[in-house]
Structure 1
């Protein structure tokens, strides 16, 4: 079976005649007919009924056409991949990020990135910092964004941001009238905390212990997105990453600065060889720009 014979068969099926197929393939009608005859001989299938002035596909011809179409779709995908590889050093950008950023900051950066590189193929994976680190170390993902470095992996890293945490509360809360929130303000308040084993919880707990303030610890969760959703439902207050908090202002969440400072940070991590990948470096530059813009916008209470 030769590819030229298959192409002739597909052209006849698509166009409906050998004459039209010859025009598509920029050849003669006798050449198309010979290719079809040779394909029938090599496959042992009768692909068309020859009627005066036309050809009609047989049942076998229709069945073979379905398989041919699948093959051509595969070839088209290979062509598209080749175009992406010519444009970038890799055809697919695989991003791993902690959920806090995968739900908001990363999509906002991708919106801008897609305007610059509309042909880029992108895959996003969300998980805890430890999972993201492992995916990057195993090169399942091209780079990652974590809240802190874990383990002794052999990748490179750099800081994306380091920013003060904020107190979030439901709309109409009595503390919303304050310009900023202190530990004493949250005494006896229903409080939504990080999970017991979550990185960063000990820093928050230490501040309240030093201030001698007891919170009403009603709920805990490892995800800032869930925390903010719970706050929006009126189930308590919390101290979270402001970049995550701003994603929930449309749900009535009120944001206020918290003192003393509780830092939230994010680190970019890369396998050493992917740092030079043009697609990776291009997205990272966009992500840094969007992050800086959002940090500058977080200058006061909402």
Structure 2
């Protein structure tokens, strides 16, 4: 039994005649009639009664048509499965990111990515750069987004962003009248700091020490998101990655550039020697597009 025989039978059942079936299949009417006759011979079933000018399905023909329809439904399922595979549907992706990225940039990226590939399963983890590096090295995660690279691990990496820190303060703060701030502006202000063992503190600390200016540090936290939330409560000012402040732009905070500049870096890390993966590549492309939009919100133009 050939597929062409079954296809001809189905076309006749759906269209009502061999002539209409021939048009559907882009073939001749004699070819359709020949396929039906061969199918009846092979199956041992009389599928139609031949009446003048038409074919009438027999009870066997109707029963056989039900089975044919089930088979074609299975073929449609396979076609849909192929489309899902082409669009990464049914795939999975595990992402790890430092907290300020995991709370803002990653969810915005996932939202846009899911609009294109709704059936992809995504798992998101957060931690410090050291933990994320271990997860990616152990291939627990497909992609990592970190603020520091660790040369002890043989991972592939690329720069995701390089961006200047900003000073964040409550709305209505008297320093908001300035276009930019420096160490002397912050000297007498309640200051929310990163703990001394966290990345970023040493760069800020060095700038204030070089300027000979002490800060009034009344609060410490390891996370930029918590820092921005504390600022919104009016508990002090801080110097943070502007991507963290962006997530709090609808709260009672404002930002101003801080000079001299303090750089914040973000890196994408991948397992070494990973095979080319279209799913990962597509997610990274989406991530970069969302980051570009975020930078527009921060500055009104793209940053290098």
Distance (whole Å) between structure 2 residues aligned to residue 88 and residue 291 of structure 1: 23
Unaligned runs of 5+ in 1: 1-22, 28-79
The one-character-per-residue Cα deviations of 1:57-92 (angstroms, maximum 9, x if unpaired) are: xxxxxxxxxxxxxxxxxxxxxxx9998656439821
CA gap of 1:256–1:275, structure 2 versus 1, over 3 A, is farther
8 Å contact from structure 2 (residues 91, 119) kept in 1: no
Aligned partner of 1:163 in structure 2 is 163
8 Å contact from structure 2 (residues 182, 260) kept in 1: yes
Distance (whole Å) between structure 2 residues aligned to residue 266 and residue 81 of structure 1: 37
Q: Within the alignment, does 1:255 sit opposite 2:252 as a pair?
A: no
Secondary structure of the 1:249 match is coil
Q: Within the alignment, does 1:116 sit opposite 2:116 as a pair?
A: yes
Quote the RMSD (CA, aligned, Å): 2.3
8 Å contact from structure 1 (residues 275, 281) kept in 2: no
The one-character-per-residue Cα deviations of 1:83-112 (angstroms, maximum 9, x if unpaired) are: 865643982100000001000011111111
8 Å contact from structure 1 (residues 97, 145) kept in 2: yes
Deviation for aligned residue 1:250: 1.1
Distance (whole Å) between structure 2 residues aligned to residue 275 and residue 233 of structure 1: 47
8 Å contact from structure 1 (residues 129, 146) kept in 2: yes
8 Å contact from structure 1 (residues 143, 274) kept in 2: no
TM-score, normalization: structure 2?
A: 0.69
**Aligned residue pairs, count:** 225
Deviation for aligned residue 1:294: 1.7
TM-score, normalization: structure 1?
A: 0.70
Q: Pick the structure with greater CA Rg.
A: 2
Secondary structure of the 1:161 match is strand
Unaligned runs of 5+ in 2: 1-62, 68-79
The aligned runs of 1:86-125 (5 Å cut-off) are: 87-88=87-88, 91-125=91-125
Aligned partner of 2:39 in structure 1 is none
8 Å contact from structure 1 (residues 96, 144) kept in 2: yes
8 Å contact from structure 1 (residues 136, 270) kept in 2: yes
Distance (whole Å) between structure 2 residues aligned to residue 218 and residue 157 of structure 1: 37
The one-character-per-residue Cα deviations of 1:195-233 (angstroms, maximum 9, x if unpaired) are: 111012101000011111111011111110010001111
